[in-house]
Amino acid sequence: MDDANRSNRSLNSLLTARRGRRRLHWTDVFSYTYLIFGVILMFGPVVWLVLSSFKTPAGLIEFPPTFLPLGQIEVQVDGYEKPLLLFDVTQDDGTIKQLAQVRRIGIVSQMVDPEVLGETIRVPIDQRTKVREFRLAVENYTDPLERFNFVGFLNNSLIVTIVATVITLLINSMAAYGLSIYEFRGRNAIMLFVIGTLMIPITVILVPVYLVVTQLGMINSLWAVILPGAATPTGVFLLRQYMLTIPKDLIEAARMDKASEWAVYSKVVLPLTMPAIAVLAIFSIMWRWNEFLWPLIVLNRSEVHTLQVGLNAFQGELDVQWHYILAMTVVTLIPVVVVFTFLQKFITTGIASSGMK
């Protein structure tokens, strides 16, 4: 009795939790309803994508769709080369029997009993239902590796992401160092200029950057994607703000020890700037991995497509092969999910403190 009471109370306190010690307020109910609805809306489509990506082409065109990936069971019957599809057939006397289909002609299908050989039975198709089991169509993931240039896309995306991020970190941290450690004439002008370039996103200068890239002979090479976005004003700004907090004494001490300016930068300042560098690295990886419009313009040959451009090309084809597209979408999503689970703190604090994405 006492036990039941206590568990009852704890359940009650769980349901009516928070807001100090007061009772459940209407806003609590609203909050949790909203949050649960939010979880369904945010996660639902992604879960559905992952589940669908394991379905066979036949399973994908089914309507209404099944929730889990199911595959029809096939049986090997003596006398037939290929495995036959298995059906539950409702017979005239109302009993159900499992038969394998040899072929279908219009609304009648010719079936054979896997146990009793030789004799084919004619069954109207509305008297049979498929026998299915839970099965993951892993071939959706393995086929694109051979049939399309999927590995090539993956490679291109990796190269772009890594090389561009390294360049971005290097040149932006150098610029930030120049703008934070030294006092020199024109510093404020340069800073203003850097902030000014914030106002000119790539969408405004698509044509002339295309011209510059063509002049440099980089069309249809990955450099055309890597270089134009390498210097980012947000990156310079973020790193500079951080470097300004480094005590000047440390730098002076290093100079006393006859360290060159480059050594001061690479051995003293950069290690101390690591938290900000990490934030910029994560952002750069995200930007580059997800970039779409610019690669779409400069990468016209499919050998140089990145994942995003390749995916878009596939989904734009006349005969859309959804089973492959869904699987490739899942693969494209994985690195982002991995980065997010491990580095969520960095990302969210980075956004909250710099207001950039």
Partner 1 sequence: MPIAKDRISISDRLSAVAAWPVLLIFKLLDYPLSLVQRIVGVKGMPWIFLLPNLAFFGLFVVIPLGINFAFSFTGGPELFLSDRVYTGTEQYAFLLDCETFGDPITCREDRFWKGLYNTAIFIIFQVTFLVLFSMITALILNRKIRARGFFRAVFFFPVLLSPVVVALIWKWVLLRDGILNAFLVSIGMDKILFFVSPEWSMFWAVFVSIWAHMGFYTLIILAGLQAIQPDLYEAAEMDGTSTERVFWRITLPLLWPNLLVVVVLALIKGVQIFDEVFVLTGGGPGTATQFIVQYIYNTGFTEQVQNFGLASAASMVLGGVLFVLTMTQLAATRARDNG
The interface with partner 1 within residues 291-350 (CB under 8 A) comprises: 292-293, 296-297, 308, 311-312, 315-316, 322, 325-326, 329, 332-333, 336-337, 339-340, 342-344, 346-348
The verdict on 246 binding partner 1 (CB under 8 A) reads no
Among 6, 7, 24, 32, binds partner 1 (CB under 8 A): 32
What minimum distance in Å lies between the beta carbon of 49 and partner 1? Answer: 5
The interface with partner 1 within residues 47-86 (CB under 8 A) comprises: 48-49, 52, 61-65
Structural contact between residues 78 and 112, judged by C-beta atoms closer than 8 angstroms: no
The verdict on 243 binding partner 1 (CB under 8 A) reads no
The verdict on 290 binding partner 1 (CB under 8 A) reads yes
Among 253, 263, 302, 303, binds partner 1 (CB under 8 A): 263
Q: What is the DSSP letter of 104?
A: E
What minimum distance in Å lies between the beta carbon of 299 and partner 1? Answer: 12
Structural contact between residues 233 and 194, judged by C-beta atoms closer than 8 angstroms: yes
The interface with partner 1 within residues 178-217 (CB under 8 A) comprises: 178-179, 181-182, 184, 187, 190, 193-194, 197-201, 203-212, 214-215
How far, CA to CA in Å, does 80 sit from each of 75, 108, 117?
Answer: 10, 19, 11
Structural contact between residues 125 and 89, judged by C-beta atoms closer than 8 angstroms: no
Q: How many CB atoms lie within 10 A of CB 353?
A: 13
# residues contacting partner 1 (CB under 8 A) = 108
How far does CA 35 lie from the centroid of its chain?
23
**SS3 of 53, please?**
coil
The verdict on 352 binding partner 1 (CB under 8 A) reads yes
Select from 18-26, 72-80, 89-97, 99-107 the region that touches partner 1 (CB under 8 A): 18-26
- Residue for token digits 């990156």? 235
The verdict on 220 binding partner 1 (CB under 8 A) reads no
CA–CA–CA angle 264, 267, 269 (5° rounding): 65
The amino acid sitting at 36 is I
The verdict on 231 binding partner 1 (CB under 8 A) reads yes
The interface with partner 1 within residues 108-167 (CB under 8 A) comprises: 162, 165-166
Q: Which of 249, 184, 222, 234 is nearest to 303 (CA)?
A: 222
